[in-house]
Amino acid sequence: MASIAEVPDRVRAIFYNEEVNAAGCYLLKLYIDGVPTGVMIDDSLLFNPKTNLPVLAKPNGGHALWVPLIEKALAKVFGSYARCDNYTRNGWNCDSALTFNIFTGAPAEQ
């Protein structure tokens, strides 16, 4: 996600919603097997009450909502948060090449 964060327009292209949604629903565009796919999620996240930051994905130095929302969408696609860490497709681990492909639709190799 750090690579994608360097290109704000790429992050915006993942989200159909441009603003924080009062209903708490977000539609993200991820490329699953190269096919643009809408993934609907809500913004119900686990937060640490002491830090007020998400328990899982934490934005670097801020409270950017897009980081845990993308992680939640990936968990939905893969079946769970745990499977995000262990997911393989065509022998790839869920590494930068696979996630770059999922975020952009561009071919990527390890």
In whole angstroms, how far apart are CA 16 and each of 38, 52, 55, 93? 9, 26, 25, 27
What is the enclosing helix (H) or strand (E) of 13?
helix 8-14
Give CA–CA dist 44/31, Å, rounded.
Answer: 23
Per-domain boundaries in the chain: 2-104
| Among the listed residues 97, 68, 73, 79, the one whose alpha carbon sits nearest the alpha carbon of residue 3 | 97
Residue of 60 and 15 predicted with greater confidence: 15
| Among the listed residues 62, 65, 64, 87, the one whose alpha carbon sits nearest the alpha carbon of residue 74 | 87
Tens-place pLDDT, residues 54-110? 676 665 665 677 888 888 898 888 887 766 665 544 444 455 666 778 888 877 665
pTM exceeds 0.85: no
Backbone angles phi, psi at 6, to 5 degrees: -70, -15
